[in-house]
Amino acid sequence: MDYYAEVAEGLPKRLRNFIDGEFVESVQSFPKFSPIDGRELSHVAEADAAAVDAAVRAARRAQQGPWRQYTTAQRAETLHRIADSIQDRFDEFVAAEVADTGRPIAQAKALDIARGISNFRTFADLVSTAHGECFESVGADGTQLLNYVTRKPLGVVGVISPWNLPLLLLTWKVAPALAMGNSVVAKPSEESPTSATLLAEVIRDSGLPNGVFNLIHGHGPNAAGEWLTKHPEIDAITFTGESRTGSTIMKAVANGVKNVSFELGGKNAAIVFADADFDAAVEGVLRSSFINAGQVCMCTERVYVERSIFERFVSELKTRAEALRVGSPYESGITTGPMISSAHRDKVLSYFKLAVEEGANVVTGGNVPKFDNACDNGAFVQPTIWTGLPDSARCVNEEVFGPVCHISPFDAEDEVVARVNNSNYGLAACVWTTHLARGHRVAQRIETGIVWVNAWYARDLRTPFGGAKLSGFGREGGRHSMDFYSELTNICVRVA
């Protein structure tokens, strides 16, 4: 048996809610199934309305208790202890992430868990070194004034995180929220509850006061997610997930005029100019389209290639896509895992069918792979490439969130920029060119929150991240996270 499969066997089989410093049971529970082979991995406690209320009230009490007295240095020290403990239990977290999502082990080690650790360390260091604004001025009556800005915690923050990068995206929100002195009630996706439960264990043992971090498991509509967003004692909601869910949450918090930060869906584009480093561009698009089986919010689903290299690019990307190895992450050499669930696989397959109905040329893929082993009970689909669809096709406009991209030729810079921007989404884009001035010029014209030039998924954690249009609003990262998770107060003092 693979080492990480063996470690996964030792993970908890009953995942409970974590409220006010203790793991608590619930009347109802639901099963978590493996996307790799369909077997049951665990039973997860379903938080009812009373449990959600208890978690929020515990967080509120913690805000008024010892957590309020923690200095910035003490909060930073606690975050570093949490990071140290995740590092100490690194293999358990890797095993949990792989078991829940089916992603390749190497990716979980290098990205998910490593980034989860880095999130706590980054915000611990940022809050330790952050400086405020201070202005000296003269009032209309000639008095000397000193204005300085302080940060106060918002209070109780509801954190709702997705299943595709479970620990990474949960800690991306929890770490800055705690760094700024807030209490947290976190609800991970019902599809990926295990690493969040391990994080609750780590936080329990970190010395953080009871109630500062609470974890509730459950679903969204008419369940834990909805009850959390509607709770009157929640001061802010941060959410990563589908655009429709973001819209629902916005309506839920509207009456209370509560702070929200949304990172939502995307239909991200890549532009490949004829002067691009061809091999780098092909490899970049391969990675951005198919990593984590296309289940990353920043994955590329629309590819625009300058006409003079279009046929060559399609041919080479096809060759490399067909060389990807789909299967169980516990087998050596696997590059591509399953969809998160059979339900999500069926959604992706419905788009595969729709693409053919809309007239797509299926360059490769489009089906379910056959293994002749337990993986046939999993949620796998083949990496898929389409060409030939018009820009108006649903499959070119709607987010599939699977291992798929559509490739179109283009002839001119203005044309391709207009086509890329003709989208309801605005999360991310890539530009591949060796012409530096063009790369800079095109990047400025693209209507997305982040643009990579000759790269993908490379970013300093101190920079702003977020989307435009239906891809959300608000920015996370560095001081931008600190701004969201704190209330800014200007104090004006007359000094003379």
Task: Tell me, yes or no, whether 58 and 136 share the same domain.
Answer: yes
CATH number of the domain to which 30 belongs:
3.40.605.10
| 215 and 311 both lie in a single domain | no
The pLDDT value given to residue 1:
67
Do 202 and 112 share a structural domain?
Answer: yes
Q: Answer yes or no: do 253 and 272 share one domain.
A: no
Query: Domain for residue 332, yes or no?
Result: yes
Q: What pTM was estimated for this model as a whole?
A: 0.96
Do 334 and 405 belong together in one domain? yes
- Same-domain pairing of 253 and 296: no
- Residue 465 inside a domain? The answer is no
**Pairing mode, strands 134-138 and 17-19:** unpaired
The structural domain count of the chain equals: 2
Same domain, 98 and 152: yes
**Does some domain include residue 102?**
yes
The CATH number of the domain where 326 resides is what?
3.40.309.10
Residues 185 and 291 in one domain: no
- For helices 436-445 and 413-421, what crossing angle results, to 10°? 30
Written as one letter, the residue type at 235 is: D
What are the catalytic residues? 263, 297
Same domain? For 282 and 250 the reply is: no
Is there a domain that residue 214 lies in? yes
Any domain includes 466: no
Give the domain range for residue 432: 268-460
Residue 371 in domain: yes
411 part of a folded domain: yes
256 and 282 inside one domain: no
Same domain, 222 and 276: no
pLDDT at site 105? 97
Whole-number pLDDT of residue 254? 84
**Is 243 domain-assigned?**
yes
Digitized pLDDT (tens) for each residue of the chain, 496 residues in all: 699 999 999 999 999 999 999 999 999 999 999 999 999 999 999 999 999 999 999 999 999 999 999 999 999 999 999 999 999 999 999 999 999 999 999 999 999 999 999 999 999 999 998 888 899 999 999 999 999 999 999 999 999 999 999 999 999 999 999 999 999 999 999 999 999 999 999 999 999 999 999 999 999 999 999 999 999 999 999 999 999 899 999 888 888 889 999 999 999 999 999 999 999 999 999 999 999 999 999 999 999 999 999 999 999 999 999 999 999 999 999 999 999 999 999 999 999 999 999 999 999 999 999 999 999 999 999 999 999 999 999 999 999 999 999 999 999 999 999 999 999 999 999 999 999 999 999 999 999 999 999 999 988 888 999 999 999 989 999 989 999 999 999 999 999 8
Q: 329 and 184: one domain?
A: no
Residue reference for tokens 């019902």: 190
